[in-house]
Structure 1
Amino acid sequence: MSQRVVVTGMGVVTSLGTDLDTFWNNLLEGRSGVSLIEAFDTSDYPTKIAAEVKNWDPEAHGVDKKEARRMDRFVQFGMAASLSAVRDAGLVLGENADPERVGVIVGSGIGGLGTWEEQHTILMEKGPRRVSPFFIPMMIANMASGQVSIATGAKGPNTAAVTACATGTHSIGDSYKMIQRGDADVMICGGAEATIRPIAVAGFSNMRAMSTRNDEPEKASRPFDVDRDGFVMGEGAGVLILESLEHAQKRGARIYAEVIGYGMSGDAHHMTEPDPDGAARCMKRAIKDAGIAPEEIGYINAHGTSTPVGDKSETTAIKMTFGDHAHKLAVSSTKSMTGHMLGAAGGVEAVILGLALKNGILPPTINLDQQDPECDLDYIPNVPRKADIQVALSNSFGFGGHNATIILRKYEA
């Protein structure tokens, strides 16, 4: 018989806060984390806005000062969120958890882009001898998982998902399966990203994928709204502690929610354009894995990036998956507040799912002033909603046609 898997700890680094209480309260208040970019001069860029983590100090979040200098920003975020989640879970490796039975999957969609930029500039301006010997281990996308393992002493399964914007959800889903089949008792899992960098903003801008509502940053991310004009980039990390129920009960852990389903699919369609059929197959697989009826799901945290094509495609996919029940579902896109955190999005949104189930409150989709007629579901516009939801689902879809869905249920012993 496969193990039941529960969420016992959570940690976040976001533009809305770097602790759970601040983050959750800002979400429920409908605050936007989007503002004019401060990281670099955006004078020549069509997009000048993002959801930055301001005044970042890794040392204040438990990351060793000396070690932090050898970490890309995305690794610092992943470390901070992981250490916070471990503390939140009351997990002490070597005392209440066997280090060899604790694993890590903290992925990144892009990895150390900032390190790439900085070291390439040094190469071009000062020559190859001046490139840092830490360049490679700082920028590779698996290094958040590696550093978290080193910092915590976790000696179990250690890997890293790299599936663009589906990374965080794949990391959690894969961890769920590892525990379910007995490969680990505990997994530290989620995603981290730090791509508010000149080359990334230029690349996405030239794709015409990002919002150019520079005069109203807080209103720029507006999923499902008729006036949406692209996504707003965010950064940060979201990490969960997953545990077998037996292990969690044995050590008396507090439980946020239970993970009950995971689905994956590939669009086999287009490099960047989503296919609703792929997303629908992904959701259906997660529902089948959970062994529940579609009608049992009460809330969806949508991928909902605020792109004209993406939001319409996800709406279609939800209707393909749920039929008549689609119009009875509560759906929201919290990217309206956090921005799109790329590889970290699924981790942060899984945290939101867990908090929504535990607290009985669903966060809103802000800036939904005039709903697109082709996006005709209940998107919880602008204000949170009290709802005793028993089962909730989170979607993440990435460039390349990578789709991931996880399902959480309110925990009952």
Structure 2
Amino acid sequence: MIEIERILISGIGVVSPIGISTQDFYNNLINEKYSHTIETTAFPGHGDDKRTARLTQEQKNSIDKLINGSESMPNTAKYAIYAVDSALKDAGLNESNLLNKRVAVIIGNNDAESDVFDNYIKTGRFVKYGYSSYNISKGVSDYFKLNALNLCVHNACASSNMAMDLAFTMLKNKLVDIIVVGGADSFSLRNYAGFNSLKSLSQSTCKPFSSFRDGITVTEGAGIVILERESDMVKRKKSAYCEVLGIGSSNDAYHLTHPEKNGIIMAVEKAFKYSGITYKDVEYIMPHGTGTPTNDETESAIIKEVYPDKKNLKGICSIKGTVGHMMGAAGAVATVAICMIYKNGILPPSSKSIPQDEVCDVKVITEAIKDDNIGIFVNHSFGFGGNNSVVVLRNYN
């Protein structure tokens, strides 16, 4: 019988308006410290009365100081490289111990290099860097001199979870040794205008599962995790944040923007089957939790159907009320948050979720709680076009 190795997360990195270090990011989640402001750069009449969460100039300057040649890079590439640098350092990986390793890069993304496109709309000219999502993963691979496959995954807001799905399969099959995986998306005026036309933008702040919810808060940044096989980490005497038990993805193609319950349940059941767990094993869920009426109602209905007795399900922990919706990077940023929860044993509140909508009858965590004995965490990520991806994580000890 062939022994299948465990796949572990050895390092994490994040770029977000609430922190460009994992500790600052996590502390601000716990303390519900957010930075949402009225968007001042929107196309005229396309959401100039709505709020976004954007990186500060100080944060951007800090990123630029770290990255050689940053002046010629679009924002998404910079965010990805900065988060990857943090994650590699956290994993204890450097140029010397990566030298003879096959290291792949898989980045989930929603809108390519959005600032390049936004500049084209204003000036009619593309900068020499070009407008291509592939430049993001290739830029990371080239910057760190990594020598295996690099690619970008486009599956709307499920992109980074689906990137994780591909990475997990590649490592299980020993096609590579290490995978740098996650998501990156800088703020996009085109996406912002699109969500505004769909009446999906919040005028205040995102309030997942609240009766006062009125839409998403668009944000920007990156989330990166390093995936390794257990045997390699044992050799390096490196501890892990958690184990990736399994991932289930689906595309129901039901509707361009409306989530479909059965298609999402298909992804959940695939993830459970691959992981060898049942709904009774799940303790916490990191929901997609966009704060839109339709998404939250559908996701609540799914949770109630999949977890009929809810006895072992301790709670639903949504972070978009604080950090906002990071588009293609949303799933990866949620995974970074879960890793920090495993490390610290404190779950952040689902910011702005009070009062909870009676229709969304699920156990939403509304204040920080201590739990030093977390087992299985499930991370939901859903995107336009029926793209759904569910990651199952387990504490590693």
Mapped contact 1:354–1:408 kept (Cα < 8 A): no
The answer as to 2:155 corresponding to 1:155 is: no
Aligned to 2:158: 166
The answer as to 2:136 corresponding to 1:144 is: yes
The 1-side partners of 2:27 and 2:128 are apart by: 42
The 2-side partners of 1:153 and 1:81 are apart by: 16
The 1-side partners of 2:5 and 2:228 are apart by: 9
Matches within 5 A, 1:23-42: 23-37=25-39
Tell me which amino acid in the other structure corresponds to 1:330: G
Aligned to 1:389: 374
Aligned to 2:67: 63
The answer as to 2:97 corresponding to 1:132 is: no
The 1-side partners of 2:139 and 2:53 are apart by: 25
Aligned-residue offset at 1:142: 2.0
Pick which of 357-366 and 76-85 moved more. 357-366
The answer as to 2:197 corresponding to 1:202 is: no
The 1-side partners of 2:49 and 2:327 are apart by: 17
Aligned to 1:127: none
Q: Structure 1-normalised TM-score? A: 0.90
Aligned CA RMSD, in angstroms, stands at 1.9
Tell me which amino acid in the other structure corresponds to 2:365: I
Percentage of pairs with the same residue:
30
Aligned-residue offset at 1:98: 4.4
Mapped contact 2:101–2:177 kept (Cα < 8 A): no
The 1-side partners of 2:312 and 2:201 are apart by: 29
Tell me which amino acid in the other structure corresponds to 2:238: A
Tell me which amino acid in the other structure corresponds to 1:76: K
Aligned-residue offset at 1:70: 2.8
The 2-side partners of 1:90 and 1:62 are apart by: 18
Aligned-residue offset at 1:99: 4.7
SS of residue paired to 1:328: coil
Mapped contact 1:333–1:365 kept (Cα < 8 A): yes
The 2-side partners of 1:61 and 1:278 are apart by: 44
SS of residue paired to 1:324: coil
Mapped contact 1:6–1:243 kept (Cα < 8 A): yes
The 2-side partners of 1:361 and 1:61 are apart by: 32
Deviation per CA, 1:362-405: give whole Å up to 9, x if none: 12101122111111111101434435211101010000100001
Matches within 5 A, 1:66-145: 66=69, 68-93=70-95, 95-123=96-124, 131-134=126-129, 136=130, 139-145=131-137
The answer as to 2:246 corresponding to 1:261 is: yes
The 2-side partners of 1:172 and 1:28 are apart by: 25
Mapped contact 1:361–1:388 kept (Cα < 8 A): no
Aligned to 1:216: none
The answer as to 2:299 corresponding to 1:299 is: no
Give the 3 Å change call, closer, same or farther, for CA 400–43 of structure 1 in structure 2. closer
Aligned to 1:360: 345
Pick which of 348-357 and 230-239 moved more. 348-357
Aligned-residue offset at 1:170: 1.1
SS of residue paired to 2:23: helix
Tell me which amino acid in the other structure corresponds to 1:173: D
Mapped contact 1:11–1:81 kept (Cα < 8 A): yes
The 2-side partners of 1:8 and 1:81 are apart by: 14
Mapped contact 1:312–1:375 kept (Cα < 8 A): yes
SS of residue paired to 2:97: coil
Tell me which amino acid in the other structure corresponds to 2:25: F
User: Aligned pairs, how many?
Assistant: 393
Mapped contact 2:42–2:193 kept (Cα < 8 A): no
Aligned-residue offset at 1:92: 1.6
Deviation per CA, 1:286-331: give whole Å up to 9, x if none: 1111112221110111000000000010111112222212783311
Q: Structure 2-normalised TM-score? A: 0.94
Mapped contact 1:357–1:391 kept (Cα < 8 A): no
Mapped contact 2:255–2:385 kept (Cα < 8 A): yes
Tell me which amino acid in the other structure corresponds to 1:157: L
Which of 159, 162, 172 does residue 180 from structure 1 map onto? Answer: 172
SS of residue paired to 2:187: coil
SS of residue paired to 1:165: coil
The 2-side partners of 1:102 and 1:264 are apart by: 24
The 2-side partners of 1:335 and 1:408 are apart by: 20
The 1-side partners of 2:380 and 2:100 are apart by: 31
Tell me which amino acid in the other structure corresponds to 1:109: N
SS of residue paired to 2:54: coil
Give the 3 Å change call, closer, same or farther, for CA 410–120 of structure 1 in structure 2. same
The 1-side partners of 2:263 and 2:312 are apart by: 20
The 1-side partners of 2:276 and 2:312 are apart by: 22
